[in-house]
Structure 1
Amino acid sequence: MQALSLFELNEFIRRITALNFPEPLWLRAEIAQYSFARGNHYLNLVEKEDNNSKGVIAESEAVIWSRNFLKIKSSLEVPVESILQEGLEVMFRVQPEFHERYGFKLIILEIDSAYTIGKLAVERQKIIQELREKQLLDLNSRLPLPRVIQNIAVLSTDTAAGYQDFMEHLSKNGFGYTYETTLFKMAMQGENTVEEALQNLKRIRRSTKPFDCVVIIRGGGAKLHLKAFDDFGLSEAVAQFPLPVITGIGHERDESVLDMVAHTSLKTPTAVADFLITHNFEFENSIGHLALQIKRSIVTRISGEKIRLNDFTNAIKHLSHGVVRQNQQLINQAESNLPGLIQNRINLSKTTLDHLGGMVELLNLEKTLSRGYSISTDEAGKIIKSPEAIKEGEILYSRFKKGTVTSKITKDKKN
């Protein structure tokens, strides 16, 4: 049985590969892994089934030799590093090669950045439209910001220059404001960005700390570095987040989908710090204006009350003078009427006394007896007023003007 050696087989495959691919060709594939060493850039390219992140149906190794990398870098309108990101689908011009020892490789000669940018733009528009249909684009922006912002949840990486600028600018605000920030570390580019951001948002939601808002910041970078911030799942989570989300992802010209759904979108981390400082300053300023208005209101009220008090004082003085004059007139009138009243009282009293004197005179016993009347009494001296008070055998004394007659009752004839 004739058998081929491994070298002979691989040499045969190399010749077949060279024969079937005499010229470079354009290939689209997703970058699954990326690394570089000694000037060479190594990629693991994959194709997935229906954009399923786990359903890989094809895979191959690729390389950009250092001599080709410089040519590619100078030919692109965007930084080549922004294209060579894990998770991006890229259009490459490649030369398939097979080496007897190192196996099959795709030698990358050119990169079509327009394909990647265009594909991302189409996907971005689809995401925006879906968010619009779900009425999520302005949902977070309708949340009210606290009057004073102090407790801030920050999504960033502590090694990023943008984060350091943000913290320094916030602490050296010039107004003496203090802020309490809590950093939730996450990758700000690459395939882990979305997942780490979502996990941190869940942690913030579960936290017992009373955060006032969430800040997402990163340093500057190429447009394609913002791919993670065009993700639908992350944008949806931010739109529906119960706290205001403020973004400053460090790109002057391009707006990410995350910027569109955030409560407030700013260009840089420093701009976010300025926004937070200005927000608190406006509140302090409004308090100052309110205090001034209260002071002015108090001064106006006091002035008005002083005027009213003076008016009341003058009215009381005028009224008191009138009352005094009226009472003086009454006193004068009473003084002039008093002698007549006294004389009338005396005359009335004299008439009454005369009348009473006449009555007393009429009741005088001697006067009564002199007019022919008599008074009868029993032995005890009790005046007899009716026949019923007399019994047979009793002694009766009858007094007349000129004497007393003693009688004995022998017969009672009362009827």
Structure 2
Amino acid sequence: MSQIFFRQTVTYEEFQTPLSLYELHQQIRDELEVAFPENYWVVAEVAQISPDRRKGHCYLTLVDKGEDARQMLAQARATIWSARFQTLGRHFEERTGQPLKAGLKILFQAQVRFHELYGLSLDIVNIDPNYTIGDLARQRQETLKRLEGEGLLEANKALDLALVPQRLAIVSSATAAGYQDFVHQLKGNSFGYTFSTTLFPATVQGNEAPASIKRAMALVAKYQERFDAIVLIRGGGSQTDLSCFDDYTVAAAIGHSPLPVLTGIGHERDESIADIVAHTRLKTPTAVANFLIDRFRETEEHTEGLLDSIRMFAAQQMKLTGDKLERLSLRFTNQTKELLQTNKDKLEQLSRGLLLKPRSYLEAQKHQVSDLEKDISANTKDLLHTRKSHLQELSVCVEGKSQRYLHMKEHELNHLVHCLETEANGKLKQEQLSFTKYSDKVGYCVQQKVQNEKHRLRLLEMSIEANNPEKLLLRGYTLTLVNGKIIKSTKGIKDGDVIVTKMQDGTLHSKVVTINHHDK
């Protein structure tokens, strides 16, 4: 038989007295202060940053994604107190060229803190901007390598920029001073050149800038046939907030662009990746405008130079051609005179020869014509004889064939007549039989119809005879009339009317005294 054992529940009284949550957190804080008494250098990525404008503090969320950027290994809160944030933030921005912001990887020195209410956090006391610079450089190299591998690094430079790019698609901020400067510089050029500008608004600084620029570039590509080039300019703002132009998204959009891209981002430091990928890189929006104006001017000057060269060359060619024509004309005149003189001499010799030979020549021609007439006459007789014989043979042949053909057709005609007569006789006999049959049938039907009509007439006579008024009077019936009309009802009869009553043997005349109507 199986046995059941019960384990006794252990209560907390048998152990130490329980701690409150606050006491537990105090112990954790004390242990952490003992375990981490110093400042530690830590590498992490800034996931979120929230400066406190009022108090001057800066609150960060730090993450560690390890080798695989898609997997988060650790996360912690961090604080830079106002006393340090102003110094550290300014120093970091001066060294790296951009402010402390989300997405940057930083090397910082921090103290481990644990607060009973807020939990674990890090107090940042120092930041090494050199690490971030190196990490940004690494990211930059990776981006350039990726663009090169995809064939986008030199793609835009390979496009041909129009000699005079007048139709410009501008990717910039609508309210930016840089955009206004660019348009003002173009419109107010001293040469009177005309440019057509179309703004495709985009955010050109901050975290939203890469996606915004990409959308604007894609929109320009949809209407590429309307433009000669794209101008990507930075519309003012902080000189340090330029990281979006090192973003792969912006560079790839430039590399995929079907139009040449001119950049005027407005910074003096090393060129951005967008500058490297673009067709032409200039420092400022105004510099881009001057580049376009200068290109217009250079093209105009080059064209004018070509026109001058063409005019000069044409004048030289006309002079050379005139001299050559003059020499040719003189040469042609001399050769013509020589040729005319030579032909004149030949004609004179020929004329003298003709005067000496006409009689002998005519006699020879006469004999030739006579011989030719004889030959023609003989040949004509032979030909006529041959044709006559041929026609006689053909006539005999045609006559024989005609007689045979007529005999054959006569036989066919006789046969056809015989067939028609036979068929007509048969048809006539059938029609005669049919006529006889229908004639007998019609006679019988007429006889029946006459008998039926006679019988119907006898019946009508009997009916009329039976309804004769005289016979009705013989049976005891009378006829009552008023004014010559038979009375069928008391309606229409009034006192004093004379009523005529006809009987078998006489007529009665009565006068109406009283009328009694019977209800139905």
Q: Which residue does the alignment assign to 1:63?
A: 79
Q: Which residue does the alignment assign to 1:192?
A: 208
Q: Residues 98-143 of structure 1, C-alpha deviation per residue, up to 9 Å, x if partnerless? A: 4445554432221110111111112222332333344433222111
Across the two proteins, how many residue pairs are aligned to each other?
336
Q: Which residue does the alignment assign to 1:204?
A: 220
1:139 aligns with 2:155: yes
> Which of 139, 157, 165 is the aligned partner of 1:123?
139
After TM superposition, the score normalised by the length of structure 1 is: 0.67
Q: Which residue does the alignment assign to 1:29?
A: 44
Moved more, 140-149 or 47-56: 47-56
CA distance in 2, matches of 1:79, 1:166: 30
Other structure's SS at 2:98 match:
helix
Letter in 1 for 2:244: A
Q: Is the 8 A contact 1:214 1:245 kept in 2?
A: yes
Describe the shift of the 1:206–1:3 C-alpha distance in structure 2 as closer, same or farther (beyond 3 A): farther
Describe the shift of the 1:46–1:57 C-alpha distance in structure 2 as closer, same or farther (beyond 3 A): farther
Q: Is the 8 A contact 1:220 1:249 kept in 2?
A: no
In terms of fraction of residues, the more helix-rich structure is 2
CA distance in 2, matches of 1:53, 1:38: 34
Instruction: After TM superposition, list the pairs within 5 Å mapping 1:37-76 onto structure 2.
Output: 37-47=53-63, 49=65, 55-73=71-89, 75-76=91-92
Q: Which residue does the alignment assign to 1:294?
A: 310
Describe the shift of the 1:179–1:19 C-alpha distance in structure 2 as closer, same or farther (beyond 3 A): farther
Q: Deviation at 1:247? A: 2.0
After TM superposition, the score normalised by the length of structure 2 is: 0.55
Structure 2: 5+ residue stretches without partners:
1-11, 360-520
Other structure's SS at 1:142 match:
coil
1:279 aligns with 2:295: yes
Describe the shift of the 1:83–1:94 C-alpha distance in structure 2 as closer, same or farther (beyond 3 A): farther
Describe the shift of the 1:222–1:63 C-alpha distance in structure 2 as closer, same or farther (beyond 3 A): farther
Instruction: After TM superposition, list the pairs within 5 Å mapping 1:295-374 onto structure 2.
Output: 295-311=311-327, 314=330
Other structure's SS at 1:195 match:
helix
Letter in 2 for 1:288: E
Q: Is the 8 A contact 1:42 1:61 kept in 2?
A: no
Q: Which residue does the alignment assign to 1:86?
A: 102
Q: Which residue does the alignment assign to 1:179?
A: 195
Higher-Rg structure is 2
> Which of 184, 189, 214 is the aligned partner of 1:168?
184
Letter in 1 for 2:258: P
Moved more, 182-191 or 135-144: 182-191
Percent identity reads: 38
Q: Residues 325-381 of structure 1, C-alpha deviation per residue, up to 9 Å, x if partnerless? A: 8999999x99xx9xxx9xx9xxx9xxxxxxxxxxxxxxxxxxxxxxxxxxxxxxxxx
Q: Residues 262-307 of structure 1, C-alpha deviation per residue, up to 9 Å, x if partnerless? A: 2122233222222222222222222212221222233223323433
Q: Residues 301-332 of structure 1, C-alpha deviation per residue, up to 9 Å, x if partnerless? A: 3323433454455456657877898999999x
CA distance in 2, matches of 1:11, 1:178: 75
Describe the shift of the 1:181–1:222 C-alpha distance in structure 2 as closer, same or farther (beyond 3 A): same
Describe the shift of the 1:29–1:50 C-alpha distance in structure 2 as closer, same or farther (beyond 3 A): closer
Task: Report the RMSD for the aligned CA atoms in angstroms.
Answer: 3.7
CA distance in 1, matches of 2:340, 2:90: 110
In terms of fraction of residues, the more strand-rich structure is 1
Greater RCO (Cα-Cα under 8 Å, separation 6 or more): 1
